[in-house]
Structure 1
């Protein structure tokens, strides 16, 4: 009010002035307007000054505010932070631990309070209290930290999320250092599906399927790629992470590895492998499939990676009726003096001679199958090959369809095969029940001196595609009869796991594998923030005695 009176008094001009003359009349005309303007300024100036001071105080408060309250969830056995553990308050606030096992908590109204956090995570367990509650009450204090220990139920150890955004989100908010160059966003990638990788020289070429971006729901549907250095050639230890350098477009987003002008289609890769060409140069080769998502296939064939262009160049097309072609995860093995490339889906039931000309000829591919040579797969009238004694006759046959675990089950349900008659008779070693394996990889392991398989079950009890099994075999194609569950995902999918043999440590005693974590094909409608539709790395110690039941003869 005093300020207003001051400005009003100063605005009262004398009625007589030696220099005003005829302008005095104009003064009386504009006097009300002038007084109104000055009164407005007098009213708003204090408010402006107050807002300016308040904003300055708020800015200072933000820069001086303490760190959030930090909670780290660690593996009780190893002391390592565990990612993908959910902490939930009694009013449903849910936070998920980052790659280092941390969450940052600064919920308004709950700082200074004693807050109960329930603790839950796939394959890990927090001990219950007297009422059966799996959690603990913590006093939330800004800038302070607390630690919670979980017991690992999984035999395999969850290490970190490889792809996507926010891998060290909470750690960064707590001002903790990250071991990764791109700790929270790499090449604008938000989500990525299904890993395939091969070694080219001193580097690893990583590839994925569909890729989500930051700026729009539709991303890259022409397969994505990245490079990393081998651990022994300066790359990160696989226990820490993967130093991936994405192949990017001009906008900095993960660039498609394939050209595709056919609208409404995607390009997927299958069966990536390496082979020397006719000039003795090691090349990365893959099967490509141009298709309408999970639907109709428009074209397929083989493509070779051009390191200069950093793209796969389509070399040929296979007829759409082709029965055998690269799929799943590939490996090499010599049989009868001939080197072959095998394709595991997850059983290694397809092979082709490791010869540059042979791989481009679909007639050179063979299937380990019980169908008559040249036959396709039909549930209603299968062309089964049997011996004179009536037993199924399995052999390597060209231009003949594969009978994998799912097809074998279909033939049994249709009454064409007796239970236990087919080649694939995999059972859960702990529960004695039969398991149908969906996808995975097969690798030679020097520590065990045998082949090892990492694969997911389809139609599992806990999750449709989230149960991961470990198996061994001394031969190829192998029987793979005993399976040990090593990872479980409750009502969530973890498909297309792949063992990266180039990351093996301690002579193969420690092996690393990743898979795609997604709510697709699962029993949940709520995606896990940041983690959904991304790949997660696990480590398995093959000296773990719990694996003996599938290793010992």
Structure 2
């Protein structure tokens, strides 16, 4: 019987070699820098997204050696439409070959890359590049908070996505880095954090306050107490259901345990107190007034509360002072005003002004994805000369944070990051690897439309 089956037996080869991918690199036509987060899509709707090195590893066997149209979309980067209005390029992918696509930046800010999550160089690594980079154990994380802590930069994030299960970390994750963690301020960038981790080396919760539901932290601030000790503090919120706060209070960092501990409950939701009082929220800004008094301002973006810059004043609600904030911002060269959603402010030595980066509320084309820059003589406004600097195609980019301390004092380079997510966008398709992560941008204040004089 066996001899009759022998003609039908197929002996598999000992090794099967996959063809190398077709390497596509996306670069800025102005300066040749790699551009992350540019999407190419085939006519049968297979999508590829450039990594932090601007690289895409095209590996579809059905389109190798076949003339192929790639539609291009890039959140503020793109190419000119053809006569039918299509924006893209026609390429013939070949295994092991390479092609460079130049895209034009449409607004002033330049995208440097993703600074959280995994797969920062996944496409490049498929092409045998950036093999020395190893990812860290999170897939995504929500809005960032920063403070100086000794000689380190302290980082906090909200809800954090892990690989092992749909439910990740919901009581704040954190890390430290050097104050200037980037060796260079041009792409490709890479940022390695010293996360607070569990025994499996996975970032752990560092702010689990008593009670059900997630714990979110805001208004992270470093202050000196009456004994001359540095103290890290933050406002915590306990969350239930769909983003509903039911308790707010203060917490402080325990360096020995390396976690935030409950310090004081300020408000608990009940029939008599349905709304939380104004508390230190958003980002903390150090400010010295004309009388040389030191304050901490809290707001997102504009200050709405302040206290003297001591731990004891921060810990005493009776010493908090409310600030009237005008949310209307005048657009440069127009009588039009726009309304910020969230953002932050900072003193900028190069411009010799207070500046703000914020997400526009009700923007176009993205409801919460249009990012603006504006200036003022005082942290309390009025805020003028608003200029659009970043756009996102039907995507959300919220809670932008300025990183003034990451550049040389007086530098014209401004760095800021924010959370890139499909949340709050209209039927947006989630972007692989990038969704629910932090993206870093660079704005050069010595180039158009800016100058050393007023805008």
Q: Which residue of 1 aligns with 2:255?
A: 307
Residue equivalent to 2:54: 101
Could you tell me which residue of structure 1 aligns to residue 427 of structure 2? 524
Q: What is the rounded CA distance, in whole Å, between the counterparts of 1:70 and 1:349 in structure 2?
A: 50
Whether 1:249 and 2:180 are equivalent positions in the alignment is: no
Rounded to whole Å, the distance in 1 between the matches of 2:30 and 2:382 is 34
2:323 corresponds in structure 1 to: 368
Contact preservation (8 Å) 2:231, 2:311: no
Q: Is residue 186 from structure 1 mapped to residue 133 from structure 2 by the alignment?
A: no
Match of 1:274 in 2: 222
Higher percent of residues as helix: 1
Shift of 1:315: 1.3
* 1:66 CA displacement: 3.9
Q: Secondary structure at the match of 2:425?
A: coil
After superposition, what is the alpha-carbon deviation per residue over 1:330-366, rounded to whole angstroms, capped at 9, x for unaligned?
Answer: 1111122321000121112211111221111111111
Identify the match of residue 327 of structure 1 among 273, 277, 281. 281
Say how many residue pairs are matched.
446
How far apart, in 1, do the equivalents of 2:217 and 2:185 lie?
A: 24
CA contact (8 A) 1:458 1:465 kept: yes
Alignment of 1:161 with 2:114, yes or no, is yes
Conserved 8 A contact 1:266-1:293? no
Say which structure is richer in strand: 2
Does 2:451 correspond to 1:552?
A: no
CA distance in 2, matches of 1:347, 1:73: 37
Cα distance in 2 for residues equivalent to 1:121 and 1:506: 32
Does 1:123 pair with 2:76? Answer: yes
Distance in 2 of aligned mates of 1:67 and 1:230: 40
Question: Partner residue of 1:490?
Answer: 393
Match for residue 350 of structure 2?
A: 447
Greater Rg by CA: 1
Provide the TM-score with structure 2 as the length reference: 0.92
Residues 217-228 of structure 1: pairs in structure 2 closer than 5 A:
217-228=166-177
Alignment of 1:425-440 (within 5 A): 425-429=328-332, 432-440=335-343
Shift of the alpha carbon at 1:484?
0.8
Q: Quote how far apart the aligned CAs of 1:473 are.
A: 1.1
Give the equivalent residue in structure 2 for 1:137: 90
Q: Contact between 2:345 and 2:379, CA under 8 Å: does it hold in 1?
A: no
Is 2:416 the counterpart of 1:513?
yes
Higher RCO by CA contacts (8 Å cutoff, separation 6 or greater) = 2
Distance 1:316 1:509, change over 3 A: same
Tell me the SS of whatever aligns to 2:450: helix
Of 67, 71, 87, 2:20 maps to: 67
Conserved? CA contact 1:192–1:208, under 8 Å: yes
Taking the aligned partners of 1:540 and 1:178, their CA distance within structure 2 comes to 30
Q: Does the residue aligned with 1:453 lie in a helix, a strand or coil?
A: strand
In the alignment, the residues of structure 2 paired with residue 139 and residue 522 of structure 1 have an alpha-carbon distance, to the nearest angstrom, of 34
Secondary structure of the structure 2 residue equivalent to 1:99: coil
| Residue 28 (structure 2) pairs with residue 54 (structure 1) | no
Q: CA deviation at 1:235?
A: 5.6
The alpha carbon displacement at 1:91 in A equals 1.7
The 8 Å contact of residues 330 and 342 in structure 1, kept in 2 or not, is answered as yes
Aligned equivalent of 1:82, options 35, 42, 51: 35
For 1:430 and 1:126, the matched residues in 2 are separated by: 28
Residues 65-92 of structure 1 deviation map (CA, whole Å, 9 limit, x = unaligned): 4420011110011211101111011221
| Cα distance per residue 1:161-207 (max 9 Å; x no partner) | 1112211111010111257x43xx312x1110000111212221111
Asked whether the 8 Å contact 1:349–1:477 carries over to 2, the reply is: no
Q: d(CA) in 2 for partners of 1:506 and 1:149?
A: 33
* Structure 1 gap ranges (5+): 6-42, 370-403, 405-422
Look up the SS of the partner of 1:315 in the other structure.
strand
1:260–1:366: structure 2 CA closer, same or farther, 3 Å change rule? closer
Contact 2:41 2:70 in 1 (8 A): yes
For the residues of structure 2 that align with 1:137 and 1:476, how far apart are their CA atoms? 50
CA contact under 8 A between 1:236 and 1:242: conserved in structure 2?
no
| Preserved contact between residue 152 and residue 179 of structure 2 (Cα < 8 Å) | yes
Q: Corresponding residue for 2:442?
A: 539
TM-score, length of structure 1 as denominator length:
0.76
Distance 1:478 1:443 in 2: 12
Q: 1:192 to 1:519 in 2, by over 3 A?
A: same
Give, in angstroms, the shift of residue 116 of structure 1.
1.3
Distance 2:13 2:170 in 1: 46
CA distance in 2, matches of 1:74, 1:547: 24
